[in-house]
Amino acid sequence: MKRAYVIGLVLIVFSIFILMSVLGKSSSYVSFNEAKENPTEKYHVIGKWAKEKGMVYNPLKDPNYFEFPLRDSVGNVVNVVLLDAKPQDFERAEKVVVVGQMKGNVFEASEILTKCPSKYNAATPTVKPVNL
Amino acid sequence: MVKEYFNENLAPGNWGYLFIILSFTLALLSLLSYIFIARLGDNHPSKKLWLIIARSSYIGHSLAVVSIFITLYYLIQTHQFQYNYVWSHSSTNLPSEYMISCFWEGQEGSFLLWTFWQSVLGIILICTAKKWESGVLIIIALAQVMLSSMLLGIETISLFGQSIHLGSLRIGSNPFALLRHAMPNIPLFQNANYIDLIKSGQLDGRGLNVLLQNYWMVIHPPVLFLGFASTIVPFAFAMAGIFRRDLTGWVKPALFWTALGSGLLGLGILMGGAWAYEALSFGGFWAWDPVENASLVPWLIMVSALHCMMIFNARKSALSLAFILCALTYILILYSTFLTRSGVLADSSVHSFTDLGLSGQLLLFLLLFVFLFLYLIIRNWKKIPKSQKEEKMYSREFWMFTGALLLCMSALHIITITSIPVFNKIAGLINDVIGNDLLKTNRSKPDNVIDVYHQLQIPFAIVIAILIGFGQYLRYITTTQSKFWKSLIIPTALSIVFSAVLWWLSGLRDWLFIILLFTSMFALFGNIGIVIGQLKTKFRLINGGAVAHIGFALILVGALISNAEKKAISINTENYNALPDANSKERRENKVLFKNTPVKMSDYTVTYKGDSTSGAHIYYLVEYKKFNENYTSVLEQFTLTPYAIFDKAQDKFTSASPSTKHYLSADIFTHISSSSRSDAPEYQVNYTKQEEIELTQNQKAIYDSIGLELLEVYKESTNEGKDTVYRLTAKVKVTDGPDVYYAEPKIIINGSLINSEEAEVKELGIKFRYMTVVNMGASHKFMVLKGNRPQREFITMKAIIFPMINLLWLGSILMVIGFMIAAYNRIKFKKSRITNA
């Protein structure tokens, strides 16, 4: 019976260790303000592509350089740089999550998550003109 | 508002909804009758009658579920877009082989699939479970009631003559709801005859997500949901044990189902990995995405439960843990359903269902089973027999138990990271209660999340591989030490030799990976030894467990090498303006390929040969050639066709799918990340000058250093109605240095109407308009338009070599076969006391 208690105790301690270590390593969703204050730290920023300011993806100049302005939840607009190709569904995304840190004036993203509307077409039925 | 719509064909929808109501009420009736039977006991005279009611209502419920399926399929097949589900998930141009996939794009359809499989398993159990029937079916019928209610679609209730809108507490979502109910305010529904627009093809469905239009997506969801459904059976047996006050007897019949379920769920998960590898662009089979984790974690717990049940079967210990783990498997399936379908993961996962407003109901489903289990287990905890003896170090059960616990720890680690969004919600609730912002509510997954998974999962895998390797050389109770150590000599020696060879071949550098490689090889050879050993005995029994272990070991080796040693060969060495960052140099994995210009990548000479369009798919032809040393002969040549899907409505590329060359020892994965069509607007020619030129047949002319030659003019006439239409087509040869193109401008004369059809040679930025015939047909006048030469066509692509990934697939197949053999052995050797099958 004694060994069962030892195993139980080890398990509980280990479980707590796992929980604490995961929570300790978790990153945070922040606005660009916090990211600017703390440029050594990696953060998650949720926002929307500031469409009116365009974006830069010119594969002939550099196929692994994609830059776009992201407007975060409090209205800051910061240029985000991804050293990879532009994600295929970027234009359709209604929300963009970027993971990375500030490098000077730009936010260098190591990962971009694009959340697309569940459908790629218009949200309402559209009637086509008659094809003859 | 229109009062009445015409020809809406509402009958199938009404029938469908009737079947939904039937499936719900019959499941409820079956549940109540089974509860009644359980309370009556085995020998009560009226038990027979109640059993007839319970069984027939359960079978009726299953038939109703099948009828819902058939009705919905009929509506999709016949394109009845007046139904919201059909409009949302299908379209007229959907290839027939993907019709079935419409079921799992939407939540309602996938709930239906799950309900269907669970009802099938219920019927099998009615036929086979014998004395366990009522107890097992209580749990299954309860789950069926909950699942059927997911389709009810009740949004308002009437109480005391008042109708109350349920809002977020709505019950279910009806797949037969009409589009005009889902979107009542759009102009379309001011037309009483809107059905005519559907029939004439003017109103099409929204269509199926292109990522689901893949053959893996036809088979992966049904298998995965069968796996999901099968996890309820061990749980149901465990609860039946409590209902019948037989806390030990349930393990034996449930073992078959745990082995089978582990195999099926494993197969479903691995098929999902195969789909991700074949169809998704991230380049890999596993991304630790929350949706993947949500099915991996219940699988780990189920395998852990399987081992505890085997320990109990042989040694009468570990029963309490078997109870907990059987229940936890199903509860985790419900939890992952909640995670993926409630919208909690919205910010952290690429692919989770959108919130249908069912999160309240899903949470209720989850909590109902959690509290039911807690209530039953706490009340009976004292009665569960616990082993009083100490397990010996040299006993199989001690190490099996350790392995089972390790699997649980591994699952705990994964589910904790996956649940971070849930912690935020809970922290938010606590903050609301205590009235300040004590707890952090904006946690996200760790930024280097893959490393965080690897940090603990690799050590877990190392230890588990060692346990797998020697476990079956130990006997239950106790083992002679010298014999045990002797039996490990051959497997250890072989694994040292083979892992050294693989290490050398693959070039692994990380020492943790090298240890894992060695221990996985130890697990592999250890279990090969076990299989051979048992085939030699008089039983000639194939040891399912050992086969599954071999498969698992191969999965570890394949995953390890293909992942750690994957290598992008499409490194861009020119044209980059990356940030001054050390890491950035390693990430230049996309390379530009101009059309017909070969590029060297590793051992291959890769050429982009052009594209071809088929429907909305644009296939890019990428040719790989391997030459001998002097480039005098081609050793090997193949063409890959990764594709992109072009959405005409939005004039955009919506998604791309890779193409992969499979070799025995490695795969070459090729993915298009952009192309001149999508990312180079200068691809369009801007015509700036024009000039009229007269060409005579077979006489060469030069315009802007481009050679022109009129080859022939042919005349056609067709009768359209009472008019005769004349069509003159000029065939012009256009030469630019060595390159030859042909243009065919036309004149079409229809009575007094004269039209001309231009012909363009885009590559040269030149366009011809056929003006008129002069000199009685001896020569012809053309308007020649000239603009900039457009950007040459190009693609940017990523090519990645995955070494030894076939070991992963081979291992996957073997592991599933192993589980199936283990399940089969449970039936075949039910009578005999074989404990190590």
- Is B266 exposed, middle or buried (CB count within 10 Å of its CB: 0-12, 13-18, 19+)? buried
Q: Quick one: pLDDT at residue B575?
A: 59
Contact with chain A for residue B188, Cβ under 8 A: yes
**B429's tokens:** 């609730």
Q: Quick one: pLDDT at residue B372?
A: 96
Q: Quick one: pLDDT at residue B9?
A: 86
Does A119 contact B420 at a Cβ distance shorter than 8 Å?
no
pLDDT (mean) for B427-450:
87
Can you list the alpha helix ranges (DSSP code H) found in B78-132? 84-89, 102-105, 107-128
pLDDT digits (tens, 9 = 90+) for B315-349: 888 899 999 999 999 999 999 999 888 878 776 66
What residues in B contact A127, CB-CB < 8 Å?
Answer: 188, 197, 202-203
Task: Look at residue B149 and tell me whether its pLDDT is greater than 80.
Answer: yes
Nearest CA in chain B to A109: B447
What residue has token string 């210990």? B317
- List the one residue out of B60, B70, B56 whose CA is nearest residue B15: B70
Task: Look at residue B310 and tell me whether its pLDDT is greater than 60.
Answer: yes
Q: Quick one: pLDDT at residue A37?
A: 92
Q: Where are the beta strands (DSSP E) in chain A?
A: 27-30, 43-49, 66-72, 77-82, 95-103, 106-115
The band of B126, judged by pLDDT with boundaries at 50, 70 and 90, is very high
Q: Quick one: pLDDT at residue A131?
A: 44
Q: Quick one: pLDDT at residue B582?
A: 43
List all residues of chain B from 536 to 555 with a beta carbon under 8 Å from chain A. Answer: none
What residues in A contact B203, CB-CB < 8 Å?
Answer: 125-128
Q: Quick one: pLDDT at residue B438?
A: 83
The band of B555, judged by pLDDT with boundaries at 50, 70 and 90, is very high
Nearest CA in chain B to A88: B655
Q: Quick one: pLDDT at residue B496?
A: 95
pLDDT (mean) for B114-123:
96
pLDDT digits (tens, 9 = 90+) for A58-82: 888 888 889 999 999 899 999 999 9
Give B447-450's long-range contacts (Cβ < 8 A, gap of 24+). Answer: B447/A27, B447/A42, B447/A43, B447/A44, B447/A99, B447/A100, B447/A110, B448/A42, B449/B288, B449/B417, B450/B288
Task: Look at residue B716 and tell me whether its pLDDT is greater than 60.
Answer: yes
- List the one residue out of B150, B117, B118, B116 whose CA is nearest residue B24: B150
pLDDT digits (tens, 9 = 90+) for B343-377: 787 766 655 556 667 888 899 999 999 999 999 99
Contact with chain A for residue B196, Cβ under 8 A: no
Q: Quick one: pLDDT at residue B297?
A: 97
Helix (H, G, I), strand (E, B) or coil at B205: coil
Does A86 contact B183 at a Cβ distance shorter than 8 Å?
no
Q: Quick one: pLDDT at residue B135?
A: 94
Q: How far apart are CA B683 and CA B704, in angstroms?
A: 20
Calculate the average pLDDT of chain B.
Answer: 87
The band of B679, judged by pLDDT with boundaries at 50, 70 and 90, is low
The band of B141, judged by pLDDT with boundaries at 50, 70 and 90, is very high
Task: Look at residue B757 and tell me whether its pLDDT is greater than 70.
Answer: yes
pLDDT (mean) for B270-278:
92
Contact with chain B for residue A94, Cβ under 8 A: no
- List the one residue out of A116, A98, A120, A111 whose CA is nearest residue A35: A98
Does B650 contact A18 at a Cβ distance shorter than 8 Å?
no
| Nearest beta carbon to residue B447 from set A27, A63, A65 | A27
Nearest CA in chain A to B416: A19
Does A125 contact B81 at a Cβ distance shorter than 8 Å?
yes
Q: Quick one: pLDDT at residue B830?
A: 65
Per DSSP bridges, beta strands B643-647 and B634-640 are unpaired
Q: Quick one: pLDDT at residue B377?
A: 95
Nearest-Cα distance to chain A for B531, in Å, is 32
Can you list the alpha helix ranges (DSSP code H) found in B759-804? none
**B371's tokens:** 């509290």
Neighbours of B505 (CB within 10 A): 13
Residue pair A62/B571 in contact by the 8 Å Cβ criterion: no
pLDDT (mean) for B468-478:
88
pLDDT (mean) for B668-680:
81
Task: Give B779's contacts (C-beta < 8 A, 6+ positions apart).
Answer: B694, B695, B696, B697
pLDDT (mean) for B427-437:
88
pLDDT (mean) for B199-212:
80
Q: Structure pTM?
A: 0.87
Contact with chain A for residue B409, Cβ under 8 A: yes
* Of B149-158, B368-377, B814-823, B825-834, minimum mean pLDDT range: B825-834
The band of B220, judged by pLDDT with boundaries at 50, 70 and 90, is very high
List all residues of chain A from 15 to 74 with a beta carbon under 8 Å from chain B. Answer: 15, 18-19, 22-23, 25-30, 42-44, 46, 57-65
ipTM (interface pTM): 0.90
Task: Look at residue B832 and tell me whether its pLDDT is greater than 60.
Answer: no
Nearest CA in chain A to B387: A1
Q: Quick one: pLDDT at residue B509?
A: 86
Q: Quick one: pLDDT at residue B611?
A: 85
Share of chain B above pLDDT 70, in %: 93
pLDDT (mean) for B457-471:
95
| Nearest beta carbon to residue A120 from set B179, B201, B647 | B647
Contact with chain A for residue B696, Cβ under 8 A: no
pLDDT digits (tens, 9 = 90+) for B763-776: 788 889 988 888 77
Handedness of CA B792, B793, B798, B801 (dihedral sign): negative
- List the one residue out of B110, B168, B135, B105 whose CA is nearest residue B336: B110
Q: How far apart are CA B555 and CA B559, in angstroms?
A: 6
Q: Quick one: pLDDT at residue A119?
A: 44
Between B647 and B128, the more confident residue is B128
Does A119 contact B88 at a Cβ distance shorter than 8 Å?
yes
